[in-house]
Structure formats: C-alpha cells, structure tokens
C-alpha cells in the first residue's frame, strides 16, 4: 500500500531546502490516536502544571479516557470532519501520552511530513513514522517525503511541533512560547526551513515557571485568536498582541480560563466548507458569554467532554488532533 502513494525516499534523515507552499489556516482532516496506554505521565509532569494525578485504578482511567476519545471521534465524524484513527503498534516502551499526536509530527501541503524532537523519553517512543505513513496512505493522503529534527535530541534541544508552535498560515508566522519543550534555535531553524517567521517570547505563570506548550495559551483561527496575553513577559506582550491584532480579532482569556483549556481550541473545516471550532466542555463552561458570542461569529462551537484526559494528561482537545494538510492521492 505504501508504494502506491509514497513518492521518493520517505525516510530521509537530513533537512532539505525550504519548500513549504502556503495553505489554508484550517485543516479538514485530523489524525487521532486512541488512549489505550493512557495514565499519569511522571516524566512530563515535571514542567506541565496542567497535569493532576487522580486516585483511581489505571483500568478505570483508561476506560474513561477511551470513552472521551470515542466521543470526540464520533462528534467530529458527525460534524463532517475527516478523521484518521492511528491505532499505533505497541512497543516495549509504554507511551501514556500517545493520545496527543500533534506534538511529534506536522504535515505540509506539498506532501511532506516532519517529525520533531520530544523532550520526554517515553514521548520520544511515540514517533512511529512508518506505521503512520502507512495509515495516511491507506486513508488516501500522499506522503512525498519524511524529514526529521530528531537530531537535536542528542543536544537536549526540543521542539514539540504544534504543541510548541501556533501558526498563522495566512501570514507565514509562527508564535512560540519558549520553554524546555521549545528551543529558540531549533524553532528558528524550523521557521527558516518552511519559509515562515518565528515570533518567540518568554512566559511566566504565577508559579514562576514557563507555559509548557504555546497551544494551551493561544489558538489561531483564520480571523480570530484566543490569547492569554497576561503570561507573556514585556516588552514582547504588547508586540505579540499588536502583531496578531493587525489581521485578526484578539479574544483575551485569563490565566484561570487558560487553566480550563480555553486556549486549547482548534478550528477545522467540515466537508461542506463550514468552520467548526472544537473545544472541551470545561473550556466552554469557563468562557464568558461575550467570549462565546465572539467565537460564534467565526464558526460553530463543538464542545466535547474530555475531563479525564485534561486532568491526568494536562492537554485538551487541540492536543488530541494532529492537522493533516497532505494532498489526496
């Protein structure tokens, strides 16, 4: 199956020249991964303040997480979004965070697939390139090449894909909160590689730590941006807000709302060309009425209850979906 839809050397290890053609802001297809090994991840909890261990059996946790995952898949299907389920092969290394696939790969409109250096050892084990390429090909999406930034792991520098980077595809900008999971040099290298400009900034939570992933504090739509600007250090705070506001409505969220995953939102395009804004039930309930009204100007809201995954995994619905911009076969 792979031979019919993969062009060239799909396991190329070194980067090539800039090639990224611009594409639409919203994807109409996502990859999701069932949480069959889901549990509290001690390795990622070191810098992810959104994780909370729950006192219940692992079997119960996994049953609840699987029910939340299946609800997400069902609602996306019913709403007209193409969903590709990647039921990954198990290995000797458990991968409790595999339900968050957007952190280890990204796809490009010309058929490229890029993998990224993950900070945690058990998250590095999530990178199953050949299996993913086969699933994408079976779903009718062409992969012309696979490239990697994983060589930076050797120097303990990381860039966790669209967890660490929030992209404005219309303007060719990457917004990124610097952290252990977002190295500035690797970020700039990736931006150069795809022909985008990196807008990097420092953040500070009340604890004094950095925001672990940019996509918990910021969500980018075609015409709007959810942003917890109060965690951005000055003087970059004003610069970031003004930069975004030139082309989009900035909808501010508070730190408390960010903690309810109001920033972990993903706009998608349905089969009929409508915009769907996917968010968690906890985020929906944390938004103020005027914020919901502002969002509803730009698409239909689709709240999904993923409470177990949010509390234990420290990520929400946006983290559970990896956008697919690959061309059809």
φ/ψ of residue 253, rounded to 5:
-125, 150
Dist CA 317 CA 100 (whole Å): 9
329 domain-assigned: no
Question: What's the structural domain count of the chain?
Answer: 1
107 domain-assigned: yes
33 domain-assigned: yes
Range of the domain at 261: 2-323
267 domain-assigned: yes
Give which of 119, 58, 123, 61 is closest to 95, Cα–Cα: 123
69 domain-assigned: yes
Residue 164 pairs with which residues in a beta bridge? none
pLDDT of residue 21: 57
Dist CA 302 CA 75 (whole Å): 8
pLDDT of residue 17: 46
26 domain-assigned: yes
pLDDT of residue 55: 87
pLDDT of residue 2: 39
328 domain-assigned: no
pLDDT of residue 10: 40
pLDDT of residue 93: 93
Q: Where are the beta strands (DSSP E) in the chain?
A: 29-32, 82-85, 105-107, 112-115, 145-148, 166-168, 173-177, 197-201, 218-220, 224-227, 249-252, 266-269, 275-280, 300-304, 322-323
Query: How far is C-alpha 289 from the geometric centre of its chain's CA atoms?
Result: 26
pLDDT of residue 5: 57
The upper half-sphere exposure of residue 208, i.e. CA atoms within 13 Å in the direction of its Cβ, equals 0
Q: With the C-alpha atoms ordered 27, 280, 89, 152, is the resulting torsion angle positive or negative?
A: positive
pLDDT of residue 8: 42
Low-confidence ranges of the chain (pLDDT < 70): 1-22
Give me the CATH number covering residue 150.
3.75.10.10
For 199-225, the pLDDT digits (tens) are 999 999 999 999 999 999 999 999 999
Q: How many CB atoms lie within 10 A of CB 8?
A: 10
């Amino acid at each position: 199956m792979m031979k019919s839809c993969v062009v060239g050397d799909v396991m190329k290890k070194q980067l090539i020249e800039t090639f990224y053609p611009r594409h639409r802001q919203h994807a109409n297809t996502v990859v999701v991964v069932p949480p069959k090994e889901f549990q509290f991840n001690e390795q990622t909890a070191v810098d992810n303040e959104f994780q909370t261990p729950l006192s219940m059996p692992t079997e119960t946790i996994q049953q609840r997480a699987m029910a939340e995952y299946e609800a997400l898949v069902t609602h996306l299907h019913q709403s007209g979004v193409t969903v590709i389920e990647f039921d990954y092969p198990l290995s000797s290394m458990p991968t409790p965070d595999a339900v968050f696939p957007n952190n280890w790969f990204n796809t490009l409109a010309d058929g490229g697939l890029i993998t990224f250096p993950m900070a945690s050892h058990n998250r590095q084990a999530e990178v199953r390139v050949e299996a993913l390429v086969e699933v994408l090909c079976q779903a009718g999406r062409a992969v012309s090449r696979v490239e990697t930034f994983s060589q930076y792991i050797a120097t303990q520098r990381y860039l966790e894909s669209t967890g660490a980077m929030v992209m404005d595809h219309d303007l060719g900008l990457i917004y990124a909160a610097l952290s252990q999971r977002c190295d500035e040099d690797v970020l700039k290298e990736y931006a150069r590689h795809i022909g985008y400009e990196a807008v990097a900034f420092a953040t500070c939570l009340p604890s004094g730590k950095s925001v672990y992933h940019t996509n918990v504090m910021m969500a980018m739509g075609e015409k709007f941006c959810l942003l917890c600007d109060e965690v951005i250090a000055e003087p970059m705070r004003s610069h970031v807000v003004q930069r975004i506001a030139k082309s989009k409505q900035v909808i501010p969220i508070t730190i408390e709302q960010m903690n309810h995953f109001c920033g972990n939102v993903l706009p998608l395009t349905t089969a009929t060309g409508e915009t769907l804004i996917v968010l968690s039930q906890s985020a929906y309930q944390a938004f103020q009425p005027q914020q919901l009204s502002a969002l509803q100007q730009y698409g239909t809201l689709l709240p999904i209850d993923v409470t177990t995954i949010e509390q234990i995994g420290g990520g929400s619905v946006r983290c559970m979906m990896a956008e697919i911009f690959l061309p059809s076969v």
